[in-house]
Structure 1
C-alpha cells in the first residue's frame, strides 16, 4: 500500500474516518509548539543537539504534501515525548519499573477538614498550623529537582515522614505501608530533615539571654534557688548492639546497650544545652567533663550575669541543680544526701529534688512524644546524635507554640498485658560521688542556699 493510501486520506480529512481538518491540525501544531518552546528554554546544549538530530531524520522523509503533514505531526509528537523524558513536564503516572506510592497516613494528613487536628497531633505530635510553620522554614532546604524517573516528594511529605517516624518509633520497613516510602528513601529523608533542622533552627537550643534569661532566673528564684540557670541530668537512649563497636562499651549498668545524652533544661522544660553520643557505660561526671558545657563554665563564659548575695557573705554568679551523680562544685548544687539528716539539710534536699524534677518531666515529654528514642532500635551511630539534637529542637518549638503534652504518652502496655510507666532511661546514682574534689567555696554555697531557705 502506498504512503498516500496509508496516510493521506486520514491526514487530509477527506474520505478517511476520523481524519484531521486543517483547523484541527493548526490547533495541535500551536499547542505542541507552545510546549516545545517552554521545554527548549529549559534545555541545555546537549538536549538541543539531540532534538536537532531527531528533526533532521524526520525531514528526510518523502516530500509529498501528505507526507509533509505526517512528518510535521510526527516530529511534534516525538519532541513532546522527548520533553517528557527530559523532565520538561512531569509524567502523569510513574514508569512501570518504579514502585507506585500508596496513600495511607499521608493522604489522611492532607485532608482539609476540622477532624484532622486530632489526627495531626496523634501522628505528628503537633497542630496543622505548627506543621505549616515548620514546613515553611525547612522547605527551601528540602526542595528536590524533578528527575527522569519520577516526580520527587514535596517538602511537606518529607517532613511529615520524618516526624511520623520519630513520633511513633516505627521502623523504616513498617513505615512503608503508611507513607508509601521505600526503606532507602526513608533513611535519606530522615537524614535530610535532621540536617535541615540543625541548619535552619540552631538558635532553638541556646543558653538564655536577655528577657528569656530573666524569666528563667525568676522561675528558679520562686522555688528558692536564686540565680539558678537550669537543671542537669543524663538519659540513656537504648539501641541494639552496635555492629562495628565494642559492645561492652555501650552496655550500661542495667546490662542494656545505650548511648548517653546530657541535657540542661529550665523550669519551662525547654532544652538549653544538649550533649549526646558517648556510650552508655560512661559516667555522668565523665560526660560533663567531655562536654563544651564544662569548658564554658570553668572558663567563666557560662554564667555571666550579675552576682547574687547569699547568707554568710557568699556571692554566686550562677549554678545548675544536679543529682548525686555529680560532685558539689561552685556551679553545680547537689543534695546533701544521707539517712539521719538535720532538718535544715532535709528541707534543702526536698526542695532541691522537687525543683530538679523539671529535668525528669522534660525527658518524659521529649521521649513520650518522640518515642523512637524511648524504645530499643537499630540506629546509625553516626547520625543518632544529630537526630536526637533535632528532636530537642522540635521539643522546644512545640513548647514555644504552646502545644500541650498528653500524660497518657508516659504509659504503655507491656508484653504481659500490664499497663506500666515507660522507662525514661534515667539511672539514679548508686551512691554519691566522692566529694574530695569539692572546694570549700563549693560546699559553703550549698550551706548558704539552705540557710536562705530557713530565713524565708
Structure 2
C-alpha cells in the first residue's frame, strides 16, 4: 500500500514574501529543483571509456533506463503523487538542489536496470549512496501500488485474443499461455541461512514463477518462496494453482475441434511441472511416435515464450540477474514484482528494447531441470487429444 498522506500544519509566514524558505539550509525557490538532470547525466556518462553507449540521445536514454523518454514520462506520472507527497529532506544532489521526480525515477530505474552498486549509481548521478537507497525504495513502493493494473489475469475477451494468437503461432488450440520459474540468487548473512533457501545448485535463492502470453507479458506471478523448493511444489503453493484447481481460472470457452474432440483451456509448461488437465507438459523422450515427437517440438516452441520472457526480464533489470547482496527477504518480493511490472509496461506502451538486452544464455544458467513424475489421468487425455489434433 502507498503510505498515508500526513496532514501538514502550516506556520504563519512572515510578511517578507521575497525571503526564501529552506530545508536543512537548501533553498526551495523555483530554480532549486534539479530539472536538467538528463543533460548533466548524459554529458557525464555518455563518453565513458570502453563503454558501448549509443551516440544517439534517444537510444542512449534507453540504454541507461531500458525505456523510451515517452514511457519514462508515463512511469513518472504513475508515481509522481507518491514521490512529492513525502518530505524531501535529504534528497539533494552534490550541488545542493532538490531532486526532481524525474531524477528520482531515473536513479531507481538505473539501479534496477544495471544492478550496479548504490555507490556506482550515486556517482553517476551526483548523489550519495543513502540517497540512492532511499529513492529506489520509495519508487518501488509507489510503483508496486500504482502500476498493478499492468499485471492482471485477462478477462474472457482478452483471453480469446491470446488463445487466437497462440494458436496462429504455435498450432495449439485453446492454449492460454506458458509457465516457467527462475531463481533470484542471494548472499545471506549467516544468521539467515537455512537449508530451505539453499537450492539444488548450492546457491541461496528466491523463486519467481510466471505465466506469460503470446507477447511474453506476465499474466500472473508468484514469488517470495525459498529456492530449495521444486517448481512443482512452488506451483502448488501458488494462488494460481488454487484458482485453476478449483475451476475459478482457465475455465473459459471449451474448444470443439473438427473431429468433435472438446479441449478445455490450459497452459503449457516444462518437464518440471506435473501433467494436469489445465497444465500440459511434453511426452517423455523415450519411444515416441511420430505424432508425439511433433507434439513435443510444437510444445517446446510455445513453452519457450516463458523462458524468453524470463531472459528478457533478467536481461533488462539486471538487479535480478546479479547476486543480491544480503537483501531483506521481506522486501525482495516487492523488488521482483516491480521489475515484472516494468517489463509489462514496456510491452503495454509499445516500447521496443534493443535485442541485445535479453540474456544470451538461459535465465537459470547452471540449473538442471528436475523432472516431475506426477501425471493426472485427465491431463494425459487432454494431451493425447491435442497431439492427435495437431497431426490430422
Aligned partners of 1:453 and 1:205: how far apart in 2? 32
**Conserved 8 A contact 2:91-2:131:** no
**Conserved 8 A contact 1:216-1:266:** yes
2:192 partner SS: coil
Give 1 or 2: higher helix fraction: 1
1:158 partner SS: helix
Report the counterpart of residue 445 of structure 1 in structure 2.
382
Report the counterpart of residue 368 of structure 1 in structure 2.
315
Report the counterpart of residue 291 of structure 1 in structure 2.
238
Any idea what the Cα deviations from partners look like across 1:52-87, whole Å, max 9, x if unmatched? xxxxxxxxxxxxxxxxxxxxxxx96xx976855799
Aligned partners of 1:434 and 1:141: how far apart in 2? 48
Question: How big is the shift at 1:142?
Answer: 0.9
- TM-score w.r.t. the length of structure 2 is 0.84
- Structure 2 segments unaligned to the other structure (5+ residues): 1-7, 45-54
Distance 1:310 1:188, change over 3 A: same
Q: Aligned match of 2:101 in 155, 172, 182?
A: 155
Report the counterpart of residue 372 of structure 2 in structure 1.
433
- Structure 1 segments unaligned to the other structure (5+ residues): 1-41, 52-74, 95-100, 412-420
Report the counterpart of residue 50 of structure 2 in structure 1.
none
Question: How big is the shift at 1:184?
Answer: 2.1
**Conserved 8 A contact 1:238-1:256:** yes
- Please identify the structure whose Cα radius of gyration is greater: 1
Any idea what the Cα deviations from partners look like across 1:187-243, whole Å, max 9, x if unmatched? 221111111112111111111124422221012222221111110110011111345
Aligned partners of 2:72 and 2:154: how far apart in 1? 25
- TM-score w.r.t. the length of structure 1 is 0.73
Q: Aligned match of 1:135 in 76, 81, 84?
A: 76
Equivalence map 1:46-445=2 (5 Å): 83-84=21-22, 90=28, 107-108=40-41, 115-143=56-84, 144-145=86-87, 147=89, 152-222=98-168, 223-310=170-257, 314-378=261-325, 379-410=327-358, 421-425=360-364, 427-430=367-370, 432-435=371-374, 438-445=375-382
Distance 1:312 1:329, change over 3 A: farther
Aligned partners of 1:148 and 1:395: how far apart in 2? 30
Distance 1:142 1:109, change over 3 A: farther
Aligned partners of 2:381 and 2:284: how far apart in 1? 16
Question: How big is the shift at 1:174?
Answer: 1.5
The higher-RCO structure (CA 8 Å, 6+ apart) is 2
Aligned partners of 1:370 and 1:148: how far apart in 2? 27
Any idea what the Cα deviations from partners look like across 1:314-368, whole Å, max 9, x if unmatched? 5333111011111111110000112331111111111101111111111111111
Aligned partners of 1:118 and 1:220: how far apart in 2? 31
**Conserved 8 A contact 1:310-1:448:** no
Aligned partners of 1:385 and 1:294: how far apart in 2? 19
Distance 1:404 1:83, change over 3 A: closer
Question: How big is the shift at 1:91?
Answer: 6.6
Aligned partners of 1:303 and 1:92: how far apart in 2? 54
**Conserved 8 A contact 1:173-1:182:** yes
